[in-house]
Structure 1
Amino acid sequence: LNQQETITWEGKFRKPLRNAHILPRPLNKQLPIWRAVGGGPGSAVRAGRAGVPMYMAHLAGAAQSFKYTIDAYRQSANDAGFDGDHLPIATAGLFYVADTSQEALREYYQHVNAGLVLTNGQGFPKQAFAQAPDKRSILNVGSPQQVIEKILYQHELFGHQRYIAQLDFGGVPFDKIMKNIELIGNEILPAVKKYTAK
């Protein structure tokens, strides 16, 4: 992938690639490989042992409960001779912002619930979703100020370099996605950068 613009490859877990173009090409000549992690710390430990960046997906719950996975990643990296404190970490999760937390909860629940029904046959428990406005919840749903506080809390807790917001889960209407992107660019990102820029 890093040496050629087209690739022919066959493996066990996906359809073969035949003269496939890999686009976009990496700016730094190397396609960075990240290990995706979700659930327990086993995959995080393997990522740490390999010394590769970790991409941690999360759905709901207390942000504190995900710290164990990040700590396990860093410790296993250190044990394998890498500097775990300097390996990149990205977190990714559901995201929805509206002018007020009440609006965000009211507008987004139907979409996240429908999306989970489609993907795993079970909806999103209402009591778990109702915890979203709490700063300590990993679910980044609320008003712009609440989401700023949540992202900063998670950054302080995890020390990660990147957050990937999943905006389009469950059929969120295009106009709402555009509104979220606007709020991210105009309010959330500038505030987060103010406190996290080095």
Structure 2
Amino acid sequence: MQIGIDSFAAAENSDSFNGKKNAQSIEKLINRIVKADQVGLDVFGVGEHHRREFLDSAPHLILSAASAKTKNIILTSAVTVLSAADPVRVFQNYATLDLISNGRAEIIAGRGSFTEAFELFGYDLNDYDQLFEEKLELLIKIQNNDTVNWMGKYRPDINNQTIFPRPVQNPLPIWIGVGGTPQSFIRAGKLGLPLMIAVIGGETHRFKPLVDMYRESGRRAGHSSKKLKVGLHSLGYVAENSKKAVEDYFPGYAKTFTRIGKERGWPPVTLERFKAQNGPLGALMIGSTEEIAEKILRHSEALGGISRFTFQMDNAELSHKQLLKSIELIGEKIRPIIN
């Protein structure tokens, strides 16, 4: 099983227009990617948002900077908001990253958990599903063909055009990032694409029926079980012991998700609810190395086996030092237990 880290490149200060402080935040993030590579983690993903609290509106650039300082770690989007992007440019950006990194780039294509990209880039949110389906179709066509002919509704036609550059990897790996809609799981299965499930709350085992649908859909479409990989992305943080992990993580987590909850109609975060979601079956992965390793294995068994697990930990106002230490523990303690 691959073990990795995902980041949304959180800004460390409330003044999102302070360029010098944001430059420091990006530098620290790149240092964390380097640390993940040094301790043997398999993958590092950077998300895509267009909000003041995140600095990841151009994740391929962050990953490209990190590629020059790393040797082995896979560098992926987490996720590319494909619905609001041009698939040609997405492919070109990550094919270039693949060249820079000598074959370590991946794309996780999704629709994102926020919607501001639609208005920003001139798309109608009512076309949410149709945009993703059409653009994913084009991205896959570019992935598998040097020269492309294509017609669609939301982008000008492509007439016998060759898309450059071509990546080191053939094909350039594309995963599908999903939340909880059955249609998304079935689509990924039909296409034979690996699946990355974002689990940010509740109990992870509730995704088992959806994972079964994905695998059955892929089987019926004629895809081998080796192609139908499943990954999990969860909020997580590891410390020397459980008490310290919760004490470090909860205050910032409560602040962040209470703020987001106001936008989405969620109730304020409470410690009681946090502890319930951080229990043996809960989606949160906050604790000691032994606890979290056991929990990853438990989740994998509940879902019929997973190929990748990634921790999303920079959403709780943790310090750079705390994040580096957690990455070290995940690489040196958790990964050997899992594998």
Secondary structure (helix, strand or coil) at the match of 1:141 reads: strand
Q: Does 1:43 align with 2:184?
A: yes
Matched to 2:258, the amino acid is V
The equivalent residue for 1:105 is 246
Q: Percent of pairs identical after alignment?
A: 29
Matched to 1:63, the amino acid is T
Conservation of the 8 A alpha-carbon contact between 2:192 and 2:227: no
Conservation of the 8 A alpha-carbon contact between 1:133 and 1:141: yes
Conservation of the 8 A alpha-carbon contact between 2:238 and 2:286: yes
Alignment of 1:1-198 (within 5 A): 13-14=84-85, 17=89, 21-22=93-94, 23-25=96-98, 26=103, 27-84=168-225, 86-121=227-262, 122=266, 123-158=268-303, 159-193=305-339
Matched to 1:98, the amino acid is A
Matched to 1:151, the amino acid is I
Q: Relative to structure 1, is the Cα distance of residues 151 and 12 closer, same or farther in structure 2, using a 3 angstrom cutoff?
A: closer
Q: TM-score, normalized by length of structure 2?
A: 0.49
Runs of 5+ consecutive residues of structure 2 not aligned to the other structure: 1-81, 104-167
Compute the RMSD of aligned alpha carbons. Answer: 2.5
Matched to 2:231, the amino acid is A
Distance 1:14 1:161 in 2: 28
Query: Structure 1, residues 83-131: CA drift from partner, whole Å, max 9, x if none?
Result: 3465111110111112221221221112222222344434444333102
Q: Relative to structure 1, is the Cα distance of residues 49 and 169 closer, same or farther in structure 2, using a 3 angstrom cutoff?
A: same
Distance 2:216 2:317 in 1: 39
* Count of matched residue positions in the alignment of Structure 1 and Structure 2: 182
Q: Relative to structure 1, is the Cα distance of residues 78 and 125 closer, same or farther in structure 2, using a 3 angstrom cutoff?
A: farther
Conservation of the 8 A alpha-carbon contact between 1:135 and 1:149: no
Conservation of the 8 A alpha-carbon contact between 2:178 and 2:197: yes
Matched to 2:84, the amino acid is F
Secondary structure (helix, strand or coil) at the match of 1:170 reads: coil
Distance 2:83 2:221 in 1: 29
Q: Relative to structure 1, is the Cα distance of residues 81 and 191 closer, same or farther in structure 2, using a 3 angstrom cutoff?
A: same
Query: Structure 1, residues 158-194: CA drift from partner, whole Å, max 9, x if none?
Result: 211001111212322111101101111211111111x
Query: Structure 1, residues 44-99: CA drift from partner, whole Å, max 9, x if none?
Result: 11111111111110012222112122111111112222234651111101111122
Secondary structure (helix, strand or coil) at the match of 1:163 reads: strand
Q: TM-score, normalized by length of structure 1?
A: 0.80
Distance 2:243 2:207 in 1: 26
Q: Relative to structure 1, is the Cα distance of residues 113 and 33 closer, same or farther in structure 2, using a 3 angstrom cutoff?
A: same
Matched to 1:168, the amino acid is D
Matched to 1:24, the amino acid is L
Q: Relative to structure 1, is the Cα distance of residues 176 and 84 closer, same or farther in structure 2, using a 3 angstrom cutoff?
A: same
Runs of 5+ consecutive residues of structure 1 not aligned to the other structure: 1-10, 194-198
Q: Relative to structure 1, is the Cα distance of residues 94 and 71 closer, same or farther in structure 2, using a 3 angstrom cutoff?
A: same
- Give the greater-gyration-radius structure (CA): 2
Matched to 2:174, the amino acid is I
Distance 1:133 1:59 in 2: 11
The equivalent residue for 1:8 is none
**Stretch of structure 1 that moved more, 27-36 or 140-149:** 27-36
